[in-house]
């Protein structure tokens, strides 16, 4: 299998970019983009660092980010597994991309920009939930944003094909694949209750 290594060769394989795909790009949040992002409870944060790339799912039961102004988003870093892969990357390479999704919507909104981390007392306290605060807040400066073509979600039927979780391994099964003695069924059965007091 021969890899493509030249930009000119790549470009010969595709038609010219659809004009609207270029003209739709904005550099600041407009009222409509604000409306979309405020409705999004889930996004994927992509970062890059010396060890490679990372894409991390982020979610909340309200807006997943806070819009501070037309070019600034705050993303609280709620409790997780403490790998902090994305955060390590941001410290060393501040480029980030966020992909915002809204259930039932075929489009996706992407924000490309830069970010830094803060443990500012007031910023963290402003997100307090159930007596807890995020360890840090990711401050994103918007470089560009645009909505993505709907074809990927349409092809996949992401919101319309129903629950397909029975087709894939559980978290417990993944862990048992690494450790034959791991109690996968017990882990899976108890995880929802385990997670409830640890969501924020």
Tokens representing residue 188 in the block: 């899976």
Residue 90 and residue 169 share a domain: no
Residues 33 and 72 in one domain: yes
Q: Are 126 and 85 found together in one domain?
A: yes
Assessment of whether the complete model's pTM goes beyond 0.75: yes
The predicted pLDDT at position 80 comes to 87
pLDDT for residue 39? 98
Q: Which pLDDT score, from 0 to 100, does residue 10 have?
A: 97
Is 6 a member of any domain?
no
> 64-104: per-residue pLDDT in tens?
999 999 999 999 999 889 999 999 999 999 999 999 999 99
**10 within some domain:** no
Share of the chain above pLDDT 70, in %: 100
Q: Which domain holds residue 98?
A: 24-159
pLDDT at residue 79, rounded to an integer: 86
Mean pLDDT of 15-33: 95
Q: In the numeric block, which tokens belong to residue 1?
A: 């299998």
Size of the chain in residues = 200
Q: Is the pLDDT of residue 27 over 90?
A: yes
The verdict on 145 and 47 lying in the same domain is yes
pLDDT at residue 34 in the model: 98
Q: Is residue 42 part of a domain?
A: yes
Cα distances (Å, whole numbers) of residue 40 to 53, 106, 177: 24, 13, 34
What CA–CA distances, in Å, run from 169 to 81, 166, 175, 178?
A: 20, 8, 10, 13
- Tell the residue number behind the tokens 């739709």, with chain if given: 24
For every residue of 94-148, DSSP letters joined together read -EEEEEEE-TT-S-EEEEEEEEEEE--HHHHHTT-BTTB--SEEEEEEEEEEEEE
Residues 105, 38 contacting (CB under 8 angstroms): no
The answer to the question of residue 176 being in a domain is yes
């Amino acid at each position: 299998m021969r890899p493509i290594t030249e930009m000119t060769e790549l470009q010969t394989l595709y038609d010219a970019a659809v004009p609207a795909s270029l003209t739709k790009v904005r550099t600041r949040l407009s009222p409509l983009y604000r409306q979309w992002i405020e409705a999004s409870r889930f996004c994927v944060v992509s970062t890059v660092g010396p060890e490679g790339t990372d894409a991390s799912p982020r979610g909340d039961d309200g807006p997943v980010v806070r819009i501070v102004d037309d070019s600034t988003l705050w993303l609280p870093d709620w409790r997780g597994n403490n790998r902090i892969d994305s955060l390590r990357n941001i410290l060393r390479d501040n480029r980030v991309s966020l992909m915002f999704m809204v259930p039932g919507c075929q489009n996706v909104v992407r924000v490309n920009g830069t970010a830094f981390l803060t443990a500012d007392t007031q910023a963290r306290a402003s997100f307090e939930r159930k007596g807890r605060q995020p360890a840090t807040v990711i401050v994103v400066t918007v470089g560009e944003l645009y909505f993505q073509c709907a074809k990927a979600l349409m092809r996949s039927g992401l919101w319309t094909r129903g629950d397909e979780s029975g087709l894939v391994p559980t978290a417990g099964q993944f862990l048992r694949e690494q450790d034959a003695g791991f109690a996968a069924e017990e882990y899976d059965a108890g995880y929802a209750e385990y997670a409830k007091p640890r969501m924020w």
